[in-house]
């Protein structure tokens, strides 16, 4: 039997999976760096409030047996606003901006000091397929995101492709695998695809990830040749960092392009 994870194990896993240094986690959480070090090494037991603050800063929660990532899309909305890709200041922006200022990503004047760092940190705070209201549906026909989009368009469902197929459209050198599409109406989208939701145990099966529009992700979408709607290019980059595996690696190839677009 695998031994139960300790608090030290869980905190270390959350920090490493969120790509934070101990110093960054300390600054984001308001807990001192020596305290973070002692907790991770098992030298001290944190209070419940301290443990919660550290996990929340890393973007995780403890379900009793393991740490699980929490998707916080307001991070991406705030990043888009700071980069000039959204006009209206998001409701939760001050909290995100304060943390990013403490780790040197944003200046006191709200200027973005590290574009790649901001995109990475905001994207990792909003795990793409764990967005509230998202569904994974079966894809036995192995449809591409463009084929999914065509079916949604025929059914009158507003949509925007993101994920690796959108990254490819923007020039990232990858082979698309699992379609990820924002939709305006989840029920209508599932009906249009004529498929069924995947059960949690079916995570290895071919699937389409459907993510609901949230008043921000639909802003700035654009249409490519063939009529496929894609999410805002900044949103696509942020979503790439909120994905897994090679999607994150290929997203990095687009950051220089994005910085040049802002000049």
Render pLDDT for 218-228 as a digit per residue (tens, 0 to 9).
Answer: 999 999 877 89
Residues of the chain with pLDDT under 50: 1, 246
Stretch (H or E) spanning 54 = helix 48-58
What span, in angstroms and rounded, lies between the C-alpha atoms of 18 and 7? 16
Give the distance, in angstroms, between the CA of residue 37 and the centroid of all CA atoms in the same chain: 27
pTM for the predicted model, two decimal places: 0.85
Q: Residue 140, CB half-sphere, CA atoms under 13 Å: how many?
A: 5
- The reported pLDDT for the residue numbered 260 is 59
124 touches 106 (CB < 8 A): no
- The reported pLDDT for the residue numbered 170 is 83
- The reported pLDDT for the residue numbered 224 is 85
- The reported pLDDT for the residue numbered 193 is 93
Q: Residue 198, CB half-sphere, CA atoms under 13 Å: how many?
A: 19
Phi and psi, residue 177, nearest 5°: -120, -70
What span, in angstroms and rounded, lies between the C-alpha atoms of 194 and 53? 43
């Amino acid at each position: 039997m695998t031994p139960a994870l300790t608090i030290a194990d869980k905190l270390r896993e959350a920090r490493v999976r969120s790509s934070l240094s101990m110093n960054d986690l300390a600054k984001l959480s308001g807990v001192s760096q020596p305290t973070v070090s002692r907790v991770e090494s098992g030298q001290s037991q944190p209070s419940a409030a301290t443990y919660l603050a550290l996990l929340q800063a890393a973007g995780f929660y403890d379900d009793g047996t393991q740490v699980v990532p929490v998707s916080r899309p307001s991070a991406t909305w705030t990043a888009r606003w700071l980069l000039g890709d959204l006009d209206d200041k998001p409701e939760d922006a001050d909290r995100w901006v304060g943390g990013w200022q403490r780790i040197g990503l944003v200046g006191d004047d709200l200027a973005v000091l590290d574009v790649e760092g901001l995109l990475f940190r905001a994207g990792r705070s909003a795990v793409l397929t764990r967005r509230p209201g998202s569904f994974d549906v079966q894809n036995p026909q192995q449809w591409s995101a463009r084929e999914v989009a065509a079916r949604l368009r025929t059914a009158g469902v507003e949509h925007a492709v993101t994920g690796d197929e959108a990254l490819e459209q923007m020039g990232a050198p990858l082979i698309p695998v699992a379609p990820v599409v924002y939709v305006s109406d989840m029920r209508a989208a599932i009906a249009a695809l004529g498929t069924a939701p995947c059960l949690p145990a079916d995570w290895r099966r071919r699937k389409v990830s459907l993510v609901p529009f949230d008043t921000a992700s639909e802003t700035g979408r654009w249409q490519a040749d063939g009529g496929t709607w894609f999410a805002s290019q900044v949103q696509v980059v942020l979503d790439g960092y909120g994905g897994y595996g090679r999607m994150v690696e290929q997203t990095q190839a687009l950051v220089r392009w994005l910085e040049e677009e802002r000049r």
